[in-house]
Amino acid sequence: MLVKDQLHRSLQFSKPPVRIVSLVPSQTELLVDLGLRDQLVGITKFCVHPKSLRKEVAVVGGTKDFQLDNIKRLRPDIVICNKEENTKAIVEACEAIAPVWVSDINTIEDSLEMISSLGKLFNVSEMASKIIAGISSERETFLEYVIHRTPQKVVYLIWKNPYMAAGTHTFIDSLLQLNKFENIVSEARYPEVSLDLLKEADLILLSSEPFPFKEKHVVELEAALQKDVRIVDGEYFSWYGSRLQNAFTYFKTL
């Protein structure tokens, strides 16, 4: 069986892989929702959904820091990675152990393609199709909901000291656009941003992850900027797997 990942790299399997190591939290959750929980043999410490999973499956480390031996001893048939969350060096090191399937996601379309591809790879296409249909339906309903919403200029902060924001060419940016939020950060990926730039926004969004922004940070920035500042659920803005099924219901609360 010849398959390609989202970097267009070819992977060869004699049969669908069974023993899975996932180094991407949102894709770990997806694999569980695809019915593959019993096939997961290794995950990261950031794979927090479902909550009980880390008590049942070996934790190999973080998304960027772990001992390769932790993976090797699990004898995986495949390692699941992501271009942004895992480094090229990690992918290459894991390839010495097992084939590595890498996702590359900047839009919901990329997400749906990833779900479909993993469904085919693990022979669970029917479940993958149900998840894709659910996400697509929720997105269409949400687009109708926001069709008359007045656009707001926003900055979506992901880090403090220094302040860093989600810029262009990110999955977060694509979801901001769906929400009728105009991202005023014009640089790609996750640049540092100044207080002067924040003053140009109508609204400052503080992500709950990776930096754990709290209400004290809201108060601090509102005092400094005299702008509307609010904390948002970072998982709904950055997890690109099956969590998207519930994301649009959350976005309506904003």
pLDDT tens digits along 23-40: 999 999 999 999 999 999
Model confidence pLDDT, tens digit, residues 56-102: 999 999 998 888 999 999 999 999 999 999 999 999 999 999 999 99
Q: Are 205 and 155 in contact (CB under 8 A)?
A: yes
Both tokens assigned to 61: 């480390």
Q: Just give the CATH number of 2-138.
A: 3.40.50.1980
pTM of the model: 0.95
Geometric angle at alpha carbon 128, from 241 and 237, rounded to 5°: 15
Model confidence pLDDT, tens digit, residues 67-78: 899 999 999 999
Task: Provide the pLDDT for residue 65.
Answer: 86
Closest CA to 22 of 74, 81, 69, 75: 81
Task: Provide the pLDDT for residue 250.
Answer: 98
246 pLDDT more than 90: yes
Q: Just give the CATH number of 152-252.
A: 3.40.50.1980
Q: Are 86 and 105 in contact (CB under 8 A)?
A: no
Task: Provide the pLDDT for residue 167.
Answer: 98
Quick one: which H or E segment has residue 29? helix 25-33
Model confidence pLDDT, tens digit, residues 178-235: 999 999 999 999 999 999 999 999 999 999 999 999 999 999 999 999 999 999 999 9
For the chain, where do the domains classified as CATH 3.40.50.1980 start and end? 2-138, 152-252
Task: Provide the pLDDT for residue 66.
Answer: 81
Task: Provide the pLDDT for residue 76.
Answer: 98
Report residue 54's pLDDT band, with 50, 70 and 90 as the boundaries: very high
Residue with tokens 């209400």: 215
